[in-house]
Structure 1
Amino acid sequence: MPFRLSARCLTGITLFACVFASLRIHAAPLAQTNNQTAAANPMTITANLTDAPRKLLHAEIEIPVKPGPFTFTAAKWIPGSHSPTGPIGEFAGIVVTGNGQAIPWRRDDIDLYAFHVVVPNGVTRLHIHDDFLAVSQGIDVAPNLAELEWERLMFYPAGVPVSQIVVVPSVIVPEGWHLGTALIPAKSTGNTTTFAQTTIRHLEDSPILTGRYFKEIPLAPGIAPQHFLDVAADSPQDLDQNLTPAFLAALNKLVPEAWAMYGSHHYDSYHFLLTLSDFAGRHGQEHQESSNNGGSHNAYSDPVQAVSNGELLPHEFTHSWNGKYRRPVGLDTPDFATPMKGELLWVYEGLTRLLGDVLAVRSGFETPEQFREALAYSAASLDQKPGRVWRNVEDSAISAPIQGGNMAYNNWRRSFDYYAEGELLWLHTDMLIRELTNGQKSLHDFCLVFFAKGGNTAPVTVPYNFDELVADLNQVAPYDWANFLREKITSLSPHADLDGITQSGWTLAYSDEASDYEKGEMGKTIDAYFSLGLLVREDGTIGDVRFFSPAFEAKLSPGEKIITIDGRAFSRSALHKALMERKPESTDVDASKPIFITVQLGNALRDVPIMYHDGERFPRLERTVNMPDLLSDLLAPLVK
C-alpha cells in the first residue's frame, strides 16, 4: 500500500524543526558516510509494483546507521546510459523515520541526488519511503506489465563504493502477475518475492520484468549456466503471435553462437527480459546477467518490424561481454555519483553494434541481405553527414551525456555516432586483420583474446584502456594499431570510413528503389534524404534538412510544411514523380528545370525552387567483381 503520513509522523516533524535547521550546517559538504551494511546486517529494499498499472511505484527501504550525520543518495550516473540519467526528478513522497519517529531530511545544495539527515541516538536502522512517478516517456509500465530498473526507487548510503553496500531486495507484484529476473529468489509468499543477498552495484544491474500475460521459456537446452526468455505482453494473443517457431529457433541458436564468438561467459544465468507492448514501446538496456528489451505488440510477428528488431536481442546480449565484463576504465566508476568518461564508447557501443549485427545473421534473426541493407543505409547516412567535417568520432563519444534532444539538423550536430562509426571502424579492423594474416585470422580471434581473459567467470567487471586494446590487437596481428585507431577516431573527414566495406568485396552504391530495411526504418516518414536532403512527414511537414544539400541551399528549414510540388498537392507520390522527372534521362519534362515547391510556416506561404537533377537515390551494397566475398565469410555461422 502507498505510504501515508500519520498524525504521529506530522507531530514528529514539528518536534524535529530545530534538528532540521541544524541540517543546513551539514548540507554543504557531503558528510563522511557511515556504511553500516554487512552480510550480517544488510540494508533492505522492497519495491511495491502493485500500483504500476496506474504509473506509480513505491519502495520501503531500511539502512543500518549509527547516530549522527548521515547522507543517503539516489543513483545519478547509470551504467549503460553513459549519462547522468538517474530519474531523481520523478521521486516523490520521500519520508524518513527511525524507531517510528519522523526524521527531517534536507537535499544537498549542490548534489541534488543526495539527502542529509541527523540520526538520533538510539536509532540503528533508518526507514525511507519513496514513490516513483512512472509518467515520463521511456518508463516501461503498462496496464498489464511493468519493468523495474532499481534506480527508479533506490536510495543507499552515499560516498561508499556500491560494491561494498550489502542489500536484500524484495518485490511485490500485482495479484496474478508473474516475474522474471536474474536475481536469485530466496523466499516467496503470496505476491511477494525476497531475493538472495547482493550488493547495490549488482542490484542496479538486475532489472525485474513482471506481467499478467507472462511466459518464461528455457533456452539452449544442454548449455550451462541456464538461459531464459522472460516475456510479458499486453494480451495473451500478443504472446502467442510473437513467440513463433522461427523466433524461438533464432533465440535458441543465439546462445551457442555467442559462446563460440566470445569463447567464454561471465554470468551465473542469463535472462532475456522482453516486453511486447504498444505502451512500453521499443527499447534495449544491457545488464551482465540479463537485458531489458522491448518492442511493440507485434514486434516479431510483423515481418517489417521483425527485421527492424532483429539485432535487438543479439546486441544487448553482446553487452554482457562488451560493456559489462570488459568495460572502459572511464565508465567503470566506483559508485553512481562519479561522472563517467565516454572516450572509448566507439568500442563499448561501436564494436557491440557490429558483433550484435553479425550474431543476428548467424543465429537467424536476419538474413545476410537484410544485414547488407542495414549496413548500406548506416554507411550512407554517415558518408553524407556534413557534421563530420567539424566533429570527430571521439568527440561524439566524449560528449555522449549532452547529446539527444530534437533530431532536426542532427546531420550537422552529430549525435551518438560512435555506434555506427564504430561499426565501420571495427569492420575495417576485421578486414585488415584478414589481410595481415593472409586470411588466417579475423576479428573473431581478437574477441577470443579480449573477452575470454580469465576464462568463464561469475558476473564481474574487468576494465580496460586504449593501450590494452592495442596490445590485444597486436597479439592477433602485429601492426601500428595505435595510429590506425587514433586516426580513425580523431580525424576530420567529409566522408565515412568505407574501407571495410570495399575490402570485404562490396561497394556502397545508390539506386532509385529503397530497400526493405530502409522502408521499415522510415515507416511513414518520406525519405528524400539522399536526393533533395529532406525527411518529410506524410502531411508535408519537413522533419530534417541535410546541411549543404539542394534543399538546404534552397533555404528550406525543419518545421515548414510543403503544400505543393510542381503545382501538385503534396503527397508521397507527388514527390516521387517530381524526383523521377528530374532524372537526366527523363523525357517527361525538361530535367534541367528546378523542382518548384510551395511551403508554409504559420500563415506565411513562399515559393521555393530547388535545383536538383538526379532522381531518387537510396543506398545499397553491390558486389565488386573479381573480389572475394569476405563479408559473407564474416556472417557465416560458427556453430554448425
Structure 2
Amino acid sequence: MFIKKSILSLVVLLISIMAAKAQVKIGFEVSFKEPQAHYADVQMNISGLAKDYIDVKMPVWTPGSYLVREFEKSVEGFTASASGKALRVEKVRKNTWRVFSAKANNVKINYSIYAFEISVRTPFIDESHAFLSPTGIFMHPDGMIKSPSTVKIIPFKTWSKVSTGLTPVAGKQFTYSAPDFDWLYDSPIEVGNQDTFEFMASGVRHEVAMYGGGNYDKEKLKVDMAKIVEQATAVYGENPNKYYLFIVHNFNRGGGGLEHLNSTTLGATRNAYNTAAGYKGFLSLVAHEYHHLWNVKRLRPVALGPFDYDNENYTTNLWVAEGFTSYFENKYILRAGFEDPNGFVNGLAAATATVLNTPGAKVQSAASSSYDAWIIGYRPNENSKNNSISYYSKGEVIGILMDLEIINATKGVKSLDDVMKAMYLQCKTLKRGYTDAEFKAMVEKISGISFTDFWAKYVNGVVDAEYVKYFGYAGVNVSTENATPDKPVTGAAAQLVNDGLSVSSTTRGSAAWDAGLNVNDVIISLDDVSVGDALSTIKLRTPAVSLESLPVVSKKNIGDVLKLKVKRDGIEREISLTLKANPSVRLKATIDENASAAQKAVLKKWMGI
C-alpha cells in the first residue's frame, strides 16, 4: 500500500508540474525604434509562472560556432514590470537577470540589444535591414529550455518582409511559434526588404532570401541549388524538412555560413555570381551548409545537444562534423555537374597539400583541434599555423582517406556515404548523438576491417597523410613537387607600415624562425637596401608584402645570408637569416587511363557519377 501510494503521489506531482508548465506562456515582441543606431527593442512576456522570482538567461554562445561570445554584453536597459508597476531586478550572473516577480501572474520584461557585428552568427541591424541571430536576441526562463514560445516581429516602417524558419501563427502577421528554445535559438530571422524566391527539390519547399543586391540570376540559382539539395538528400535517403530557408547576405566581399535545423545563413560577394570561380564558390557554400542539415544538426557528436548555453560544449569530433562536411561539398559539386573528375581529384589533392604544408599539423591532432576549438580554433594568433591545425582542413583529409579505405576494402560496394547514412539513422533511432567509439565502430562495420591503426595515425595522431597510397586505390596518381623549386624563402610574412615592414608571422623551422626574427619587428632595410627602395620596383595591391617578391631576396640562392636591420620596441638591431629551401609542396593528381578494373571500381564508387 505504501509503494502504491508513493507511486500515486509521484504521478500526481508529475501531472501537476506538466499542467503548470502547460499554463506558462512565453512571448516576444521585437521592434526597431532606432535601426540606424543598430538597436532592437525586445519585450518578453511571461504569464502563468507565479514565483517569488524568475531568472532569465541569455546564451553565451551559438551552436555551430564554438566560441563563448558573451552575447549578454550587448543588452541595455533591462527592466521588468507587472500590472504596470516596476519590479526589482538584480543581475546574478554575467548572463542572468533575476526578476523579483512576487508571484505575479503576468510579467513584462524589456531590454534593448545593440547589434553591429557583421557575421552569420551575430545580430546586425542598420537602416536597411535587421538580421536577428536568436542567441544574441532572446532570453529564456531558467530551467525552461523545453518550453514553447511565440515571436512577433514589428518591422521598421520602411521594411515589409520577414524571413525565418519558425512556424507562422495563423491569422497573425509576422508572428511565429517555436516548440522550445532549442528551436528558437536555431532559427535566424531576416527583417527588411529582401529579395525572395522559391524552388522545390526532394519534395521540400525551399525559400531564398537575398539581402544586399548582386548580379545573381534567380532562375539559374533555382535550378542549380535544387541539384545540390537532391544530391545531398540522395546520400541520406530522406530529407527531414518540408520547408527550408536560405538567408543570403551579399556584401562587397563576403563569405562563411552557419547551419540551422531548417535554415542557413550565408555570406556572399554580391558581384561574383557571374564569374566561374565566384559562382562555383557560392554553390560550394550552399553544398556545405546544406549537408549540415544531417551532419551536425541530426547526425551529431553526443556533446552537441541538448546544449548547455551557459558554458562550452566539448567534443573531439568536429573533424567529422565540419571536416567531413567540407569533404562532402566536393562530392556534391561533382555529382551535381559543377565540377569534372580532374577538377575533383586535384581539388582534394590541394586540400591534402594544405594540411601537409601547415606546421601545426605535426603538433596538433584532429581530435585535439576539435576539443580545443573553444580556446584555439576561434582565437587564432600569429603562431597558430605553427601549433595547430583546423579541424575543417584536417577532417576533410581524413574524410578523403577514410572514404577510399572503405571503398577499397569493400571492392567498390560501400563508401563513406553508407557510414554517414547509417550514423544518421542510428542517431535518429537512439534520439541522441554519437560517441567517437560508436562512429569508429560503424566505420568498421561498414568496411569490414579494423580502423584502429587509422584512428591512431590520423584522428588522434599527427602522421602525414599517405596520399599516394590512398589515391592509388582509385587509380589516381599523385605527383609531388616543391612549391617554389630552387627559390629561397625567409619564412616570414610582413605588412607595410609607415616606417617599414612589420613582421606578422614566422614559420616554424624557417630561416626567420631560426634567426629569432620576431612578430612586430619592423624591418627597415634588407642587405643595407632601405625598405622604400626595395619596394620601389614592385607593385603592391594590399598591405601584405612577400619578402620573397623583393629583388634583394629573390636574387639570392638557398644557403645565402640575408642581413636585416630591424626595430624592436624602438631599438635597432641586426638579424642575419640563412635562407632555406621552401618546405611546402604542391600535389598534382592524374587519373590513370590504364588503371586496373579494381581501381576503376573504386574510382566510380568514390565519385558517384
Band the TM-score falls in, shorter-chain normalisation: 0.7 to 0.9
Q: 2:414 aligns with which of 441, 448, 454?
A: 441
**Shift, 1:487, TM fit:** 4.0
SS in 2 for 1:326: coil
1:118-129 correspondence to structure 2 within 5 Å: 118-121=100-103, 123-129=104-110
Retained in 1: the 8 A contact 2:455–2:461?
no
Q: Residues 261 and 590 (structure 1 numbering): CA distance in 2 closer, same or farther, change over 3 Å?
A: closer
Q: Which stretch has the larger CA shift, 429-438 or 546-555?
A: 546-555
**Shift, 1:340, TM fit:** 1.2
Q: 1:63 aligns with which of 46, 51, 71?
A: 46
- What letter matches 1:226 in structure 2? R
Q: Residues 207 and 609 (structure 1 numbering): CA distance in 2 closer, same or farther, change over 3 Å?
A: same
Aligned to 2:371: 398
Q: Which stretch has the larger CA shift, 283-292 or 437-446?
A: 437-446
1:623 equivalent to 2:590? Answer yes
Aligned to 2:579: 612
**Shift, 1:387, TM fit:** 3.1
Aligned to 2:99: 117
1:22-421 correspondence to structure 2 within 5 Å: 38=21, 41-49=24-32, 51-64=34-47, 65-108=49-92, 111-121=93-103, 123-136=104-117, 138=119, 139=122, 140-160=124-144, 162=145, 164-174=146-156, 175-187=158-170, 193-212=174-193, 214-220=194-200, 223-233=202-212, 235=213, 238=214, 241-243=215-217, 247-278=221-252, 281-337=254-310, 339-364=312-337, 371=344, 374-403=347-376, 404-414=378-388, 417-421=390-394
Q: Residues 545 and 635 (structure 1 numbering): CA distance in 2 closer, same or farther, change over 3 Å?
A: farther
- What letter matches 1:103 in structure 2? L
SS in 1 for 2:419: helix
Q: Number of aligned residue pairs: give it.
A: 566
Residues 450-482 of structure 1 show CA distances to partners (whole Å, capped at 9, x for unaligned) of 224588x9xx96411223313322332212234
Aligned to 1:557: 518
Aligned to 1:3: none
**Shift, 1:432, TM fit:** 0.6
**Shift, 1:63, TM fit:** 1.6
Calculate percent identity across the aligned residue pairs: 19
SS in 2 for 1:336: coil
SS in 2 for 1:298: coil
Aligned to 1:534: 492
Retained in 2: the 8 A contact 1:73–1:113?
yes
Q: Residues 596 and 270 (structure 1 numbering): CA distance in 2 closer, same or farther, change over 3 Å?
A: same
Aligned to 1:488: 458
Provide the TM-score with structure 1 as the length reference.
0.79
SS in 1 for 2:174: strand
Q: Residues 377 and 118 (structure 1 numbering): CA distance in 2 closer, same or farther, change over 3 Å?
A: same
Provide the TM-score with structure 2 as the length reference.
0.82
Q: 1:546 aligns with which of 507, 511, 529?
A: 507
Retained in 1: the 8 A contact 2:484–2:582?
no
- What letter matches 2:261 in structure 1? Q
**Shift, 1:397, TM fit:** 1.2
- What letter matches 2:478 in structure 1? T
Q: Which stretch has the larger CA shift, 608-617 or 177-186?
A: 608-617
- What letter matches 1:484 in structure 2? F
Retained in 2: the 8 A contact 1:257–1:637?
no
Structure 2, unaligned runs of 5 or more: 1-16, 541-545
Residues 107-132 of structure 1 show CA distances to partners (whole Å, capped at 9, x for unaligned) of 22xx42122232224x1122111111
**Shift, 1:270, TM fit:** 1.0
- What letter matches 2:205 in structure 1? Q
**Shift, 1:429, TM fit:** 0.8
Aligned to 1:23: none
Q: 2:560 aligns with which of 578, 583, 593?
A: 593
Residues 417-471 of structure 1 show CA distances to partners (whole Å, capped at 9, x for unaligned) of 222111111211111111111122211222232224588x9xx964112233133
Retained in 2: the 8 A contact 1:531–1:616?
no
Aligned to 1:15: none
Partners of 2:38 and 2:479 in 1: CA distance: 47
Retained in 1: the 8 A contact 2:166–2:178?
no
SS in 2 for 1:341: coil
**Shift, 1:198, TM fit:** 2.4
Quote the RMSD (CA, aligned, Å): 3.5
Q: Residues 370 and 103 (structure 1 numbering): CA distance in 2 closer, same or farther, change over 3 Å?
A: farther
Q: Residues 302 and 576 (structure 1 numbering): CA distance in 2 closer, same or farther, change over 3 Å?
A: farther
Structure 1, unaligned runs of 5 or more: 1-33, 515-527, 583-587
**Shift, 1:503, TM fit:** 4.4
Retained in 2: the 8 A contact 1:346–1:422?
yes
Partners of 2:211 and 2:602 in 1: CA distance: 36
Q: Residues 412 and 512 (structure 1 numbering): CA distance in 2 closer, same or farther, change over 3 Å?
A: closer
Residues 81-106 of structure 1 show CA distances to partners (whole Å, capped at 9, x for unaligned) of 23433511111111111111111121
Q: Residues 48 and 617 (structure 1 numbering): CA distance in 2 closer, same or farther, change over 3 Å?
A: same
